[in-house]
Amino acid sequence: MNTRQLAKAGEKPAQAVGAPISPPPKQSLVRQFAAKMGVDADKLMSTLKDTAFKQPYKGDKPGAEVTEAQMMALLVVANEYGLNPFLKEIYAFPAKGGGIVPLVSVDGWSRIVNSRPEFKSVTFAYPPDETAPNDYYVECTIERHDRSAPIVIREYYAECARDTEPWKSHPRRMTRHKAFIQCARMAFGYGGIYDPDEAERIANAMAIDVTATSVHTKPTTQAPRARQIAQEPSRPTEPPPDVVADADGAFQSLASEPGAVDEEMEPGSRG
């Protein structure tokens, strides 16, 4: 029975031995992420814009809506590190000069560290209780299975504290968060993601860069000197004093001869 007869009978023909097997079509990032989150792919982008990536109000006006390109950039970061935006593990922090910065909460940092197979343990060390506030620090140590020595990072409160409500109400906890995040970055080489304090600083820096770009434009190329001279209007040149004196003498000698001045000053006056 040939292939045509099998098709008529409703049976699928067996694939030839050694024939190349075509790989399944690749899904788009949006559909991959939607399948991972268990949501409808067609509603994923609009849902994220209205929830996890919604920009805060500025006074009485709503924040600027995240663009499709910015959404894709956030999805790339979230997919790369396995972060769930619906659990507030990653945010879209608005930059003052336009654009957004991917902000990862401490819960997100804890997730990506604990999901690494190389991760072994994390410990914290604190100074004595009588330590002055400006001298307070937290030391974080992360051990990896594939490293012989641990990674140790110490962060000082005086260097990290900011004039924000979390730092005022929970200074020691915030210092511990900073130590953990910086140690995780050094231990696993994370890049392109930031904690809330870093995101605000980077957003301000992006605003400064945008302003500087608009102000400090590329200097115009100076034209060659010969071209500048050709473009400038001609100016009468004053001869040196000795040349002027010689010219005056010559003119006086000409003036002493009858008709000489008339011939010089009015050419073609003769009939």
Residue 235, domain member (yes or no): no
pLDDT digits (tens, 9 = 90+) for 88-128: 898 877 666 666 778 898 999 999 999 999 999 999 999 99
| Highest mean pLDDT of the ranges 5-19, 26-40, 191-205, 249-263 | 26-40
In a domain, 4, yes or no: no
Same domain, yes or no, for 110 and 186?
Answer: yes
Does the residue 68 lie in any domain?
yes
Q: Which residues have a Cβ under 8 Å from the Cβ of 49 and sit 6 or more positions away?
A: 65, 66, 71
Query: By percentage, how much of the chain surpasses pLDDT 90?
Result: 29
Q: Are residues 71 and 143 in the same domain?
A: no
47 and 181 housed in the same domain: no
Same domain, 92 and 166: no
- Three-class secondary structure of residue 151 per DSSP: strand
- What's the structural domain count of the chain? 2
Note the pLDDT of residue 157: 96
Same domain, 55 and 115: no
Please check whether residues 74 and 126 belong to one and the same domain: no
Please report whether residue 141 resides in a domain. Answer: yes
pLDDT of residue 152: 98
pLDDT at 137 over 50: yes
120 shares its domain with 79:
no
- Mean pLDDT, residues 147-166: 94
The domain of 143 spans: 106-190
Instruction: Assess whether pLDDT exceeds 50 at residue 143.
Output: yes
Helix 68-81 vs helix 29-37: angle between axes, to the nearest 10 degrees? Answer: 60
Tell me if 93 sits within 8 A of 70, measured CB to CB.
Answer: no
Same domain, 178 and 140: yes
Instruction: Indicate if 186 and 110 belong to the same structural domain.
Output: yes
Nearest of 201, 35, 1, 30 to residue 103 by alpha carbon: 201
Q: Are residues 132 and 176 both part of a single domain?
A: yes
221 inside domain:
no
Residue 236 lies in a domain: no
pLDDT level of residue 41 (50, 70, 90 thresholds)? confident
> Are residues 74 and 87 located together in one domain of the fold?
yes
Residue 49: pLDDT band (50, 70, 90) is: confident
Do 84 and 132 reside in the same domain of the chain? no
Answer yes or no: is 129 within a domain: yes
Between 228 and 144, the higher pLDDT residue: 144
Q: What is the pLDDT of residue 91?
A: 82
User: At which of 157, 190, 223 does a domain end?
Assistant: 190
Tens of pLDDT along 177-220? 999 999 999 999 988 788 877 776 766 665 434 333 333 444 44
Q: Is residue 269 part of a domain?
A: no
Q: Given this model, what pLDDT does residue 251 score?
A: 42
- Please provide the average confidence, as pLDDT, over all residues in the chain: 73
* Average pLDDT of span 228-240: 51
pLDDT of residue 270: 45
pTM above 0.85, yes or no: no
Q: In the numeric block, which tokens belong to residue 249? A: 């003498």
Burial of residue 258 (CB within 10 Å: 0-12, 13-18, 19+) is: exposed
